[in-house]
Chains A and B, each alone.
Chain A
Amino acid sequence: MAFKNYILVCAGTACESSKGIALYEALEKELKAQGVDAEAQLVKTGCFGFCEQGPIVKILPDESFYVKVSPEDASKIVSEHIIKGRQVKELLYDQDQSSGTSADSIDFYQKQQRIVLRNCGVINPEYIDEYIAREGYAALEKVIFDMTSDEVIKELTDAGLRGRGGAGFPTGVKWGFTKNAQSDQKFIVCNADEGDPGAYMDRSTCEGDPHSVLEAMTIAGHTVGADQGFIYIRAEYPLAIERLENAIAQAREYGLLGDNILGSDFSFDIELRLGAGAFVCGEETALLASIEGKRGMPIPRPPFPAVKGLWGKPTVINNVETWANIPMIILKGSAWYSSIGTETSKGTKVFALTGKINNSGLIEVPMGTTLREIIYDIGGGIRSGKKFKAAQTGGPSGGVITEEYLDTPIDYESLQSIGSMMGSGGMIVMDEDDCIVDVTKFYLEFTVDESCGKCAPCRIGGRTNYNILDKISRGQGKVEDLDTLKDLAQAMRKASLCGLGQTAPNPIMSTINFFEDEYMEHINEGKCRAGKCKDLMSYTIIEDKCIGCTACARVCPVNCISGEVKAPHVIDQDQCIKCGQCFTKCKFDAILKG
């Protein structure tokens, strides 16, 4: 016999610290005392996010969402909600907005809105029928049979959809260029060469909802007059490739790809092209070169691919996330889509939320959501109760957002104005244990590694900047180095051939802007406050505290700790590799890190 109600008590770490357990026990007691413990099951749950509003209680099946619930509220929840079936209004998340109808309150507390990820985690991605049952290929029907090309382009333009690869160019305008270009052949390309460290939005979309990409590309083919599409995806994504190939085969079988789609005179097909994992191939001209079988290196633009792209033919190239938006815009209309987001940036954005955050994950939020909402309401706050330092967006091309900008509504323009960028959607949260010089050095190392070497500003500028950062991280930097970094950054921005080189200095500029004091500490004091720069720190044993248990000496991988049993030990600083194992192992706080 199933229970009538289920009382879910959030017992995540943050709620636990704010008395989730005491609340659980109070509810347990009340259910028994009021004689209804057979009617409602009390359940501890994982973290629901929203930790600042904790402890949280959710009651199923009616989805009532109670916040800041104290153990004293337990009696009322049981007597009112469980026994009489009436919501306890003063505990609801928003007492004014949710007028008792639970459906409103669900939408209201949930900060996420899933357009791109609408089917991810819902359908079985290996069965085309499940996609079709959720309005799949209905947008394609509409485009082929009920809309003109100009209407489709107008719809996308009115919707305000902008490229989700990072640059944010209006998609409708791009399609318009290709449609109006005169050519015997045109192409459609999907950029699935996702390469930012820590980003996996496109992989998840291709794995969870491959048909949304195929449908959108077919729509583009019909709109601009192309009959062939390519998906350029990196070979490191085997599952995404498998699911896309399977989806293409099923779409062909159903006549949704191939000749005379749905009995019309429109024919279109899609093939995969596998990339070898070069980051520069995410740049569109390098990507197209790679599809053509050439070495993946960028060429100057203009001409843009929309006019002169693959094999010199007009080519629409969009990113996976951009594609996945399109069927919904066609079906629900531009007015619906443009009602979501900010003045200049419409719709939603998918972020891969990672780093020092409790609830890492793939999230999709309306443009204009603040970083604070993302980190605290969705992400559940910083891990281990540490202090937020900065969030990095835009990967190796982006910058950091600091605490003072936590309430900035995120869109293309606002991020740019604070020296970061939207990028493709990687969002890495850093806490006080992360060193800003070290992080910047990591990104520079990445872009130096991935630079194709074609143009000097990127090839030489990037390397020189990296060397300077390396020097600073070893405590050998000079104050003038910061000016050199900035000068080189300017030159790279202006003179590099493609986006990789133009944006590679962004992490430097952004972090010097916000964290100059930390750079100066490294330079002037030879100090790394986060303890990440190994050359600037040491481990020493405090003689008075060491009891000579030998635990540190036994764990040391390079045997550089010596001492008699029951006598204070000593670390040989010349041999020490600063792995920190002794520090972790010592039970007596006898090892000093600094």
Chain B
Amino acid sequence: MAKMTLEELRNLRDSKKKEMTQRDGDKSAQIVIGMGTCGIAAGAKDAFDAFLEELGNHDIKDTRITQTGCMGLCFSEPTVEVAVPDMPRVIYGNVDANVARRIVREHIIEKKLVSDHIFDKPAADIISE
């Protein structure tokens, strides 16, 4: 995109906001992996690869995997947030390759939460307030 004017920036913000709210309501699941230095050091890249592989194994194409910064739950890195339509958004901690595969099989496919790995979101979001 070329340099923006004030008008264009505002339009972009509006359209991206819509896109993000639609994303929450649409049919596809979303996996967000915390990939700060801490997450990567704890093995977030292995989890990332395992997610891709397991989704591929089950031929699931409508699940998006994205990365984000550190959620702050250092004691339970790597951390992953999973949003599946009609299910509560949850944060999983200590997600190694095996847990990543379990998340795909149990959470994404069977629509069940994965025991022993759920952690609490640390704070309410001040932006969406």
Contact = CB atoms under 8 A, between A and B. Distances in A.
A124 B67 contact: yes
Give the residue among B4, B84, B122 with the most A Cβ atoms within 10 A: B122
A239 B37 contact: yes
Contacts of A110: 122-124
Interface stretch (A2-10, A155-163, A293-301, A469-477): A2-10
How many chain A residues sit at the interface, stated as a range, is: 35 or more
B6 A361 contact: no
A253 B73 CA distance: 34
Interface in B44-74: 66-74
A61 B88 contact: yes
B123 A3 contact: no
Interface stretch (A42-50, A283-291, A395-403, A481-489): A42-50
A106 interface: yes
Contacts of A61: 87-88
B118 A262 contact: no
Nearest to A208: B69
Contacts of A262: 4-6, 9
Contacts of B119: 45-48
Contact of A118 (B66, B68, B126): B126
Interface in B99-129: 111-120, 122-127
Nearest to A136: B13
Contact of A254 (B4, B17, B20, B112): B4
A364 to B, nearest CB: 7
Interface stretch (A127-135, A519-527, A565-573): A127-135
Contact of B36 (A126, A138, A208): A208
B124 A126 contact: no
Contacts of B27: none
Given A43-B113, A126-B67, A132 B3 contact: no
A361 B68 contact: no
Given A61-B88, A113-B126, A363-B122, A120 B72 contact: yes
B35 to A, nearest CB: 8
Contacts of A264: 6
Given A133-B20, A362-B74, A239 B6 contact: no
A49 B72 CA distance: 13
B70 A121 contact: yes
Interface stretch (A199-207, A220-228, A413-421, A550-558): A199-207
B68 A44 contact: no
Contacts of A362: 70, 72, 74
A263 interface: yes
Contacts of A129: 12, 16
Given A204-B36, A239-B36, A124 B86 contact: no
Nearest to A263: B5
Contacts of B20: 130, 133
Contacts of B6: 141, 145, 262-264
Given A61-B88, A132-B12, A135-B127, A209 B69 contact: yes
A41 interface: yes
A11 interface: yes
Contacts of A58: 120
B9 A137 contact: yes
A237 B36 CA distance: 11
A121 B38 contact: no
B66 A1 contact: no
Interface string A241-268: 0000000000001111010101110000
Interface in A185-241: 200, 203-204, 207-209, 237, 239-240
Give the residue among A2, A118, A121 with the most B Cβ atoms within 10 A: A121
A582 interface: no
B69 A6 contact: no
A253 B13 contact: no
A360 B37 contact: no
Contacts of A360: 74-75
Given A2-B86, A362-B70, A49 B120 contact: yes
A256 B4 contact: yes
B122 A114 contact: yes
Contacts of B36: 120, 203-204, 207-208, 239
A579 interface: no
13 contacts: A60-B90, A106-B124, A121-B69, A123-B69, A133-B19, A135-B127, A136-B13, A204-B72, A255-B3, A262-B9, A263-B5, A354-B74, A364-B72
